[in-house]
Structure 1
Amino acid sequence: MIIATLNLVFTLILFPTAYAGQAYNQDVTFVMPLDTMGATIQNFEIISVGLPVGLSWVCDNAANGCNYNPQNNQYGCINVYGTPLVYGQYDVEVSVLVDVTSSGQTIDNVPVVFDMDFTVDNATVGNSGFISSPYMGCYPLQVNFTNNNPGLLVYDWDFGNGQTSTLENPPTQTYNLPGEYV
């Protein structure tokens, strides 16, 4: 009998805030560990994501049953969509099954649960200076910036991805790596 204890650390790009009664459609990229405490992770299957009422999810690998092999690609993505009905702070439980190899033996379907915070706020007004769309997604992400203040004399855009612009309406920006760009 083999008893396995896995201490997995998943890197997730946090869910952007949703607004009660407004449509929500966001991609969330996650990074899967290659190994943990000497055990090599061979497969990672998302089996459920407990979201607030009104929201659903689909993985970017649905054709393969939401199975990922981190040895081939550490990145995965889920799309969360729908219209959240009630505002509040939620603890989203993500359940996965992991197949691991350790000391030459394979253990399949080890259940792992991790939690993420998800905020649904009351609807509010956006930024008065610009709108970016989409503001979150899987990489590489193409983002359009819409200027809400046309006709000014000078513009100085810094997109956080190494690119800048002085145009009134800047070109589409590409973000090639997961992360937070400020």
Structure 2
Amino acid sequence: MAYRDKYEVLGVIVALATNGLSVYKKGDDEGQISGGSIGDIVVRTKGEDGFASVSIIGEQEWEAMPQNEAAEAEMKQAASGAKNLAPELAKAKNEIERLKAEILEAKGEAERFKEECANLQDRISEAAGENMVLSQKVSQLEAENKKLKEAAKKAEKSKDNAPKANEPQGLNLGGNE
């Protein structure tokens, strides 16, 4: 496998020249090369006997290339760890979906409860209105009852004060007094 530390980066292709060559740049250094696309990396291969050839590596390929063998091992270990985490991630996603469903169900229950509360509030208001009407009716009946009792007392008093038919009335019929 190729590693970044086996190459010297000469620059990144930033433009296409009018002569058909690609212009690459690294800091203030600039050069031209045949081929490549904007964003590609221009490198020189490091050989045992010094620097050998200049080539172009695609941007994505360069990004995926490990720095050295140790970095590659680390990348593989990270990828393995990611594979091991995949089932846990799937479980977590399922749990999230289950909790979302529970939340939706709870929201539905809350809405039903709100409606029920509103209905009960309406019934309480109706009952309070009926209670007020009945209280007024009771007050009217109590007032009538009081009047009737007073009238009954007056009638009783009038009856007591009225002359009785068999009793002498205190009339003087010419007798001795």
- Using the size of structure 1 for normalisation, the TM-score is 0.20
Specify the structure having the higher radius of gyration (Cα): 2
